[in-house]
């Protein structure tokens, strides 16, 4: 095993940094807003310095018994007003930037998912990528990433203000400041590792619950409910312990930051106090009077504020990195197979050829198809049979171009099949889960044949046994197929396939759940297609299989390998 894992690491290092590059590049979607956030944040720093100076001035006048107090007072109120408005603007633009970036990422995610690039994701993971993970990227840029730049500039600004007033105080701040990032890095790497472990354990908990919820009937049938409740208690307890372990490190980090901030205030106060009591004589000496002393005291807590905000946003970075690990590969531009032919697509039944196709799902170690080859002449009808799980649907998807083989080629006539998302729709597909739009049954059919008249639609519906719906073509459907039963929905998919004029017809279990009379009707309709179109059908039904003039058995050997045997019937 060890040499194997070494190889893995050696082969993949460039991919590890790709998500980070991708993440950094996303700031381009809200450049203007982010710049506003940056400028307002710097302005806030300057205003904080001004506010401290004016407060100190006012207080000094008061202590000195001076009567000219109203000038600093008015200026102070003005600065406060500007600072409040400025911070409102900063918050508004920050949230806006997050929204804009998330939206742009979502646009790309939807486009990629609709190209079929999300095949490796479950629908649940895909929706997490679209919603939560896109959010995480936006929040990271408006939050942590901006704050990191601001913290550096603001720290510098405060240091300049402190040094120009009193170099000893400047030194106190300067000496404590670099310790903070250093300590954060030390603790941060540990925290990252612990956070990763915790994320794993959250995933485990999610998988655990999901498993139990899905298998609830089994648990009940085996009278395991009590035992499972106990097991859940153990799992959640473990999760809590892990979470606390991560947080303890995080709390320690922020405690160190706070300690520095508090100690700096204490040191500055003592230093200034001793100076004013004339008990020490280092530093600028008489130049340090009460006003400057108070100014420095007010500056000390402000100095650590940007760094503390940065530490508080650390989890944003972790979330965004986790999101980038999923989103960057999803949005990576797919490598297009070279187009071997520039001839226009001919709307004629194509021949279908698989040449030494190798295909494996990323989550499996066994390839589903290994060195598979077959040839189907134009206008033929191929029926694929085999136990479920042997790859019938996968083979259909490879022929359609929905999946791309790991090696080898799929050809329609002599053209290498392009990924389906790049083709213009030259095939008809009726899968196990048809797609519905909100509208009438007719709307759903006309998607593939906009010019078809009602008579044509009625004829197709009759062929598929959908002519007995009470509202006929006007039957309303929603996006989830509400309005039709599961079996009827599937037959709608079949009706679409028959209605379209695509020369290649790919059908997954077209006659499942049909009674014999209905199955015969559907098969008659399909029989009429053979010759004009090339038809490929995956099925369990022996009756349906009789349609074939070519047949293929997907056999599962004991070791999980698949063998292809095409027989001419």
419-438 positions binding other proteins, by CB under 8 A: 420-421, 423-425, 427-431, 433-436
Binding to other proteins (CB under 8 A) within 388-407 occurs at 388-390, 397, 400, 402
Decide: is 456 part of the binding site for other proteins (CB under 8 A). no
Phi, psi of 563 (to 5 degrees): -120, 145
Stretch that binds other proteins, among 13-21, 144-152, 371-379, 496-504 (CB under 8 A): 496-504
What is the signed CA dihedral for 4, 8, 10, 16, rounded to 10 degrees? -160
Q: Closest CB to other proteins among 91 and 182?
A: 91
Decide: is 566 part of the binding site for other proteins (CB under 8 A). no
Nearest to 291 by CA among 49, 52, 56, 55: 56
Decide: is 202 part of the binding site for other proteins (CB under 8 A). yes
CA dist 397 → 109, 359, 392, 424, 431 (Å): 22, 11, 9, 16, 10
Residues 99-128, one symbol each (x = binds other proteins by CB under 8 A, - = not), give: xx-xx--xx--xx-xxxx-x----xx-xx-
CA dist 372 → 350, 417, 459, 479, 555 (Å): 19, 16, 39, 37, 13
Among 160, 182, 270, 546, binds other proteins (CB under 8 A): 270
Q: Are strands 504-508 and 427-430 parallel, antiparallel or unpaired?
A: parallel
Q: Which two tokens stand for residue 503?
A: 């020369």
Q: First CA to last CA across the chain, in angstroms?
A: 48
What is d(CA 331, CA 319) in angstroms, rounded to the nearest whole number?
Answer: 18
Decide: is 336 part of the binding site for other proteins (CB under 8 A). no
Among 3, 559, 567, 568, binds other proteins (CB under 8 A): 559
What is d(CA 508, CA 431) in angstroms, rounded to the nearest whole number?
Answer: 5
Nearest to 538 by CA among 359, 352, 373, 388: 388
Q: Which two tokens stand for residue 334?
A: 């797919």
What is d(CA 68, CA 77) in angstroms, rounded to the nearest whole number?
Answer: 16
Stretch that binds other proteins, among 3-11, 143-151, 201-209, 467-475 (CB under 8 A): 201-209
Decide: is 228 part of the binding site for other proteins (CB under 8 A). yes
Stretch that binds other proteins, among 348-356, 410-418, 462-470, 508-516 (CB under 8 A): 508-516
Among 15, 200, 479, 524, binds other proteins (CB under 8 A): 479
Q: How far is the CB of 496 from other proteins (least distance, A)?
A: 7
Decide: is 217 part of the binding site for other proteins (CB under 8 A). yes
Binding to other proteins (CB under 8 A) within 48-87 occurs at 51, 55, 58-59, 62-63, 65, 67, 69, 73, 76-77, 80, 83-85, 87
Decide: is 326 part of the binding site for other proteins (CB under 8 A). no
Among 143, 379, 386, 503, binds other proteins (CB under 8 A): 386
Q: How far is the CB of 13 from other proteins (least distance, A)?
A: 28
Q: Closest CB to other proteins among 81 and 356?
A: 81
Q: How far is the CB of 42 from other proteins (least distance, A)?
A: 17
Stretch that binds other proteins, among 160-168, 346-354, 407-415, 479-487 (CB under 8 A): 479-487
Decide: is 180 part of the binding site for other proteins (CB under 8 A). no
Q: How far is the CB of 402 from other proteins (least distance, A)?
A: 6
Q: How far is the CB of 272 from other proteins (least distance, A)?
A: 5
CB 340 within 8 A of CB 416: yes
Decide: is 476 part of the binding site for other proteins (CB under 8 A). no
Among 6, 15, 200, 211, binds other proteins (CB under 8 A): 211
The most distant pair of C-alpha atoms in the chain lies apart, rounded to whole Å, by 111
Q: Provide the residue count of the chain.
A: 569
Decide: is 289 part of the binding site for other proteins (CB under 8 A). yes
What is d(CA 97, CA 490) in angstroms, rounded to the nearest whole number?
Answer: 43
Decide: is 552 part of the binding site for other proteins (CB under 8 A). no
What is d(CA 12, CA 32) in angstroms, rounded to the nearest whole number?
Answer: 35
The string of DSSP codes covering 240-269 is HHHHHHHHHHHHHHHHHHHHHHHHHHHHHH
Contacts of 506 (CB under 8 A, 6+ apart): 396, 399, 400, 427, 428, 429, 430, 497, 536
Stretch that binds other proteins, among 173-181, 198-206, 329-337, 524-532 (CB under 8 A): 198-206
What is d(CA 171, CA 157) in angstroms, rounded to the nearest whole number?
Answer: 14
Contacts of 130 (CB under 8 A, 6+ apart): 106, 109, 110, 113
CB 436 within 8 A of CB 486: no
Binding to other proteins (CB under 8 A) within 126-155 occurs at 126-127, 130-131
Among 18, 171, 269, 322, binds other proteins (CB under 8 A): 269
Decide: is 207 part of the binding site for other proteins (CB under 8 A). yes
Decide: is 215 part of the binding site for other proteins (CB under 8 A). yes
Among 205, 355, 378, 452, binds other proteins (CB under 8 A): 205
Q: At 371, which helix (H) or strand (E)?
A: strand 369-376
Q: How far is the CB of 57 from other proteins (least distance, A)?
A: 11
CA dist 90 → 9, 43, 171, 293, 389 (Å): 43, 10, 31, 31, 55
Q: Closest CB to other proteins among 148 and 230?
A: 230
- Size of residue set near other proteins by CB under 8 A: 154
- Name the burial class of residue 376, with classes exposed (0-12), middle (13-18) and buried (19+) by CB atoms within 10 angstroms of its CB: buried
Q: How far is the CB of 341 from other proteins (least distance, A)?
A: 19
Q: Closest CB to other proteins among 19 and 431?
A: 431
Stretch that binds other proteins, among 94-102, 164-172, 405-413, 462-470 (CB under 8 A): 94-102
């Amino acid at each position: 095993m060890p040499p194997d894992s070494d190889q893995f690491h050696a082969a993949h290092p460039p991919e590890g940094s790709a998500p980070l590059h991708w993440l950094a590049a996303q700031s381009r979607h809200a450049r203007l807003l982010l710049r506003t956030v940056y400028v307002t944040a710097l302005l806030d720093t300057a205003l904080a310095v001004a506010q401290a100076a004016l407060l100190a001035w006012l207080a000094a006048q008061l202590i000195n018994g001076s009567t000219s107090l109203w000038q600093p007072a008015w200026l102070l109120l003005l600065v406060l007003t500007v600072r409040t408005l400025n911070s409102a603007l900063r918050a508004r633009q920050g949230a806006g930037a997050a929204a804009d970036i998330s939206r742009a990422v979502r646009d790309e995610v939807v486009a990629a998912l609709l190209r079929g690039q999300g095949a490796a994701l479950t629908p649940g993971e895909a929706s997490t990528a679209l919603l939560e993970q896109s959010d995480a990227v936006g929040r990271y840029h408006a939050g942590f990433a901006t704050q990191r730049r601001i913290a550096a500039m603001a720290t510098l600004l405060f240091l300049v203000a402190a040094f120009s007033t009193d170099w000893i105080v400047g030194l106190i701040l300067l000496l404590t400041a670099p310790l903070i990032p250093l300590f954060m890095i030390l603790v941060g790497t540990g925290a990252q590792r612990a956070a990763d472990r915790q994320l794993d354990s959250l995933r485990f908990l999610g998988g655990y619950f999901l498993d139990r919820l899905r298998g609830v009937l089994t648990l009940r049938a085996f009278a395991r409910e009590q035992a499972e409740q106990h097991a859940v208690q153990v799992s959640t307890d473990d999760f809590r312990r892990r979470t606390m372990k991560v947080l303890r490190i995080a709390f320690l980090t922020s405690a160190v930051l706070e300690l520095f901030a508090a100690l700096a205030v204490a040191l500055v106060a003592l230093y200034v106090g001793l100076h004013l009591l004339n008990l020490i004589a280092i530093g600028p000496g008489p130049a340090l009077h009460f006003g400057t002393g108070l100014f420095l005291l007010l500056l000390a807590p402000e100095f650590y504020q940007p760094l503390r905000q940065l530490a508080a946003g650390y989890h944003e970075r972790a979330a965004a990195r986790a999101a980038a690990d999923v989103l960057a590969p999803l949005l990576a531009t797919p490598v297009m197979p070279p187009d071997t032919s520039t001839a226009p697509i001919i709307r004629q039944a194509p021949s279908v050829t698989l040449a030494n196709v190798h295909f494996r799902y990323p989550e499996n170690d066994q390839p589903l198809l290994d060195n598979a080859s077959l040839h189907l002449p134009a206008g033929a009808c191929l029926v694929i049979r085999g136990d479920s799980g042997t790859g019938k649907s996968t083979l259909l998807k490879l022929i359609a171009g929905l999946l791309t083989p790991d090696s080898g080629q799929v050809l329609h006539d002599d053209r290498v099949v392009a990924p389906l998302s790049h083709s213009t729709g030259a095939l008809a597909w009726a899968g196990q889960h048809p797609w519905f739009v909100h509208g009438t049954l007719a709307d759903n059919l006309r998607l593939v044949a906009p010019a078809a008249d009602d008579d044509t639609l009625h004829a197709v519906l009759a062929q598929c046994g959908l002519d007995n719906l009470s509202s006929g073509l006007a039957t309303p459907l929603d996006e989830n197929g509400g309005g039709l039963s599961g079996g009827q929905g599937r037959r709608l998919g079949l009706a679409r396939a028959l209605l379209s004029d695509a020369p290649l017809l790919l059908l997954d279990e077209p006659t499942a759940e049909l009674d014999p009379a209905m199955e015969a009707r559907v098969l008659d309709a399909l029989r009429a297609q053979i010759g004009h179109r090339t038809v490929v059908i995956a099925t369990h039904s022996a009756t349906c299989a009789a349609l074939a003039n070519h047949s293929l058995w997907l056999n599962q050997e004991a070791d999980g390998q698949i063998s292809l045997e095409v027989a001419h019937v």
